[in-house]
Amino acid sequence: MFSYANPKRFMELSGHILPWLAALTAILFIAGLYLSFAAPPDYQQGDTVRIMFVHVPAAWVAMMAYGFMALASLVGLVNRHPLADVAARQAAPLGALFTALALITGSLWGRPMWGTYWQWDGRLTSFLLLLFLYLGYIALWNAIENDVRAAKAAAILALVGVVNLPIIEFSVQWWTTLHQGESIIRKDGPSISAVFLWPLFVMATAYTVLFFTLLIVRMRTDILDRRARAAVLGANA
């Protein structure tokens, strides 16, 4: 399977897919934003319910990106696949961005609804830790000059940090301090109304497709940079 994922083939394939992904991202964002503002105000949260349509998707992508980064790190570590290292490295800054957006938008929702911008609650604290894991991962890549060694060290950090994902997921059950429990994926079905579920679903899809579109462009950039470095080394040899 990995023979299909060599950098040359990746460049060919991704070049064909990218314009479609970019168009899909734009369409999903237009539809998602329309639905977000067309939804009625919530009977309890009022218009702050609209913050959920940018908060939950950002939080979802922040966690998914970490899972992706850890999986790519594992493949890079075990199979020594160069494209996997590139994927993991380029997912990190995007993951950090979405984590920061989730924290900021959550805090803007918390002030009017909980009465505070921040509380050291289980979900909030474990999410802040996710941001530090991303930043540590990026710093580690930048601190080690040799790409092969940097990839290895960063991959180990990414894999150790995976333990934080279930902590984030179950934090609302373990510590019922402030952040509300699950409302979408529940055994007895979602506990929120369809008028809010649709904008949430479309925006979450938009954020997810955006993540992969940007990731592919960033991976292409990384591969071009590696080629440029190799060409300079070759010319100087």
Partner 1 sequence: MPSFLDMGKYAAFVWPAYGISAVGIVAAVLLTLRAYYNARARLSAIEQSAK
Residues that bind partner 1 (CB under 8 A): 37-38, 41, 46-48, 50-51, 54-55, 58, 94, 97, 100-101, 104-105, 108-109, 111-112, 210, 214, 217-218, 220-221, 224-225, 227-228, 231-232, 234-235
Contact 62, 130 (CB under 8 A): yes
The rounded distance, in Å, linking the Cα atoms of 8 and 59 is 33
Residue 160 vs 230, nearer CB to partner 1: 230
CB of residue 87 to partner 1, shortest distance in Å: 15
Residue 105 vs 164, nearer CB to partner 1: 105
Angle, CA 101 vertex, CA 55 and CA 50 arms, to 5°: 30
Residue 22 vs 167, nearer CB to partner 1: 22
Residue 84 vs 94, nearer CB to partner 1: 94
CB of residue 112 to partner 1, shortest distance in Å: 5
Residue 172, amino acid: V
* Partners of 46 in beta bridges: 42
Tokens for 175, please give them: 């510590």
Of 97, 105, 1, 99, the C-alpha closest to 53 is: 105
Residue 37 vs 174, nearer CB to partner 1: 37
- Backbone φ, ψ for residue 190 (5° rounding): -60, 145
CB of residue 153 to partner 1, shortest distance in Å: 23
CB of residue 211 to partner 1, shortest distance in Å: 10
Contact 116, 110 (CB under 8 A): yes
